[in-house]
Amino acid sequence: MCNHHDCRFFGVPVVRLPSLLGVQIKKQVSVSAINLPTGFMKFIDEAEIKVIAGRGGNGCLSFLREKNRPKGGPDGADGGDGGSIFLVGKDSLNTLTDFRHVRTYKAESGQPGAGRDCTGRAGVDLRIQVPLGTAVIDVATESVIGEVTLQGEELLVARGGRHGLGNAHFKTSTNRTPRRTTPGTFGDERKLRLELSVLADVGLLGLPNAGKSTLLSTVSQARPKIADYPFTTLYPQLGVVDSGDLHGFVMADIPGLIKGAAEGGGLGTQFLKHLNRTRILLHLVDISPLADQTPETAVRDIEMELKKSRYSLATRERWLVLNKIDTLEAQKTDEIKNALIKDLEWNKPIFSISAVSGSGCRELVGKIMQYLILQRDEHDNQEQLA
């Protein structure tokens, strides 16, 4: 039987490019990120899955034959109904990453009926957990089947086949030995497109060239432009990070900030609004010997811009991520890290990574996921107490 643990994950995400003319341009690509024009931060995570409901079990043709009752009459029973498939709202999921690995979901078929009036067992229904806000579209007709918006809400997406009738069913006063049975019918089989509008959970901050886009490309399937000149990123980018277990999260990369951004320097602070609803900010700092600023200045300059901006980002949970450690001896990295902790009186998490080689990135993603889950649990507890 299909068990949820075996059958999650699937799909090639599709990016929907919003068109300012109102025309939707769709593009099948292997990334879940999108370049967005300024101020247009809607991001749609998509996955296509196939659902096959269980078949109904056939009815049975049988006559009771016992030593002392040679003409015992028809005893062929009905089959069982096929299992149906439901999507179920789950509030701890927030992306469709889980559907990237499994393409087909199949519910169990009903068992055929048997002699001696033994009805076939019904197939077990399959319940697939989806994030709240998931819209479900039938790919063949482009019609919307529904949207799952509440925790525990169930949406029937493929009805199981009906059971077939056994010959006992057709016994009448005029026909005591019916040979008629009916087969079980097929369950629904359809391709579904799941669509979810997502907001970023994690925002990347930092000076130009800190390696923000490189980090996004290493931990997600997004492929932002990367180059060794400032302001490579001109528009916010989003990527879905698969943290390897049931959950994933969305990371937003915005153009680099510079000192004086609040007064319009560089690309200004207009993009900070995209980080306004994130839950953690990752502050990337280039600690390579070639960096333009010292690590301390790189942190303080950005902090100043956050304080000056209209958004309440200065008090937001912010972690320091020291990048480009591949350019230094491990000992030197530790020295820089310890000096920063001391000089900035830093008491929040701090990480050392190489976005290029991936070193330290897995640990960082794991810690972010842990934090997001913990925060969600606290939020749930507070709601229960209220």
Ligand X SMILES: Nc1nc2c(ncn2[C@@H]2O[C@H](COP(=O)(O)OP(=O)(O)OP(=O)(O)O)[C@@H](O)[C@H]2O)c(=O)[nH]1
Binding footprint of ligand X on the chain (CB under 6 A): 206, 208-214, 226-228, 230-233, 255-256, 288, 323-324, 326-327, 354-356
Max CA-CA distance within the chain?
Answer: 101
Q: Residue 323 binds which entry of ligand X, Mg ion, none, with Cβ cut-offs from 5 to 8 Å by kind?
A: ligand X
Q: How many CA atoms lie within 13 A of 180 on its CB side?
A: 7
Question: Exposed/middle/buried for 239, CB within 10 Å: 0-12, 13-18, 19+?
Answer: buried
CB of 224 to Mg ion, least distance (A): 6
CB of 109 to ligand X, least distance (A): 51
Residue placing its CB nearer to ligand X in the complex, 35 or 232: 232
* HEC secondary structure over the chain: CCCCCCCCCECCCEEEECCCCCCCEEEECCCCCCECCCCCCCEEEEEEEEEECCCCCCCCCCECCECCECCCCECCCCCCCCCCEEEEEECCCCCCHHHHECCEEECCCCCCCECCCECCCCCCCEEEEEECCEEEEECCCCEEEEEECCCCCEEEEECCCCCCCCHHHHCCCCCCCCCCCCCCCCCCEEEEEEEEEECCCEEEEECCCCCHHHHHHHHECCCCCCCCCCCCCCCCEEEEEECCCCCEEEEEECCCCCCCHHHCCCCCCHHHHHHCCCCEEEEEEECCCCCCCCHHHHHHHHHHHHHHCCCCCCCCCEEEEEECHHHCCHHHHHHHHHHHHHHHCCCCCEEECCCCCCCCHHHHHHHHHHHHHHHHHHHHHHHHHC
Residue placing its CB nearer to ligand X in the complex, 261 or 368: 261
Q: Residue 182 binds which entry of ligand X, Mg ion, none, with Cβ cut-offs from 5 to 8 Å by kind?
A: none
Residue 13 token pair:
């995400």
Residue placing its CB nearer to ligand X in the complex, 14 or 328: 328
Residue 3 token pair:
């068990």
CB of 267 to ligand X, least distance (A): 9
Which x/- pattern over 216-235 shows residues binding Mg ion (rule: CB under 5 A)? ----------------xx--
Q: Residue 136 binds which entry of Mg ion, ligand X, none, with Cβ cut-offs from 5 to 8 Å by kind?
A: none
CB of 147 to Mg ion, least distance (A): 34
Q: Residue 209 binds which entry of Mg ion, ligand X, none, with Cβ cut-offs from 5 to 8 Å by kind?
A: ligand X
CB of 213 to Mg ion, least distance (A): 3
CB of 138 to ligand X, least distance (A): 39
CB of 353 to ligand X, least distance (A): 7
Residue placing its CB nearer to Mg ion in the complex, 62 or 213: 213
Residue placing its CB nearer to ligand X in the complex, 150 or 234: 234
CB of 217 to Mg ion, least distance (A): 9
Residue placing its CB nearer to ligand X in the complex, 212 or 274: 212
Q: Residue 326 binds which entry of ligand X, Mg ion, none, with Cβ cut-offs from 5 to 8 Å by kind?
A: ligand X
Residue placing its CB nearer to Mg ion in the complex, 148 or 353: 353
Residue placing its CB nearer to ligand X in the complex, 7 or 356: 356
213 binds Mg ion (CB under 5 A): yes
Q: Residue 47 binds which entry of ligand X, Mg ion, none, with Cβ cut-offs from 5 to 8 Å by kind?
A: none
The residue whose Cβ lies closest to ligand X is 256
- How far, in Å, CA of 386 to CA of 382, rounded? 6
Q: Residue 356 binds which entry of ligand X, Mg ion, none, with Cβ cut-offs from 5 to 8 Å by kind?
A: ligand X
Q: Residue 169 binds which entry of Mg ion, ligand X, none, with Cβ cut-offs from 5 to 8 Å by kind?
A: none
Chain contacts with Mg ion (rule: CB under 5 A): 213, 232-233
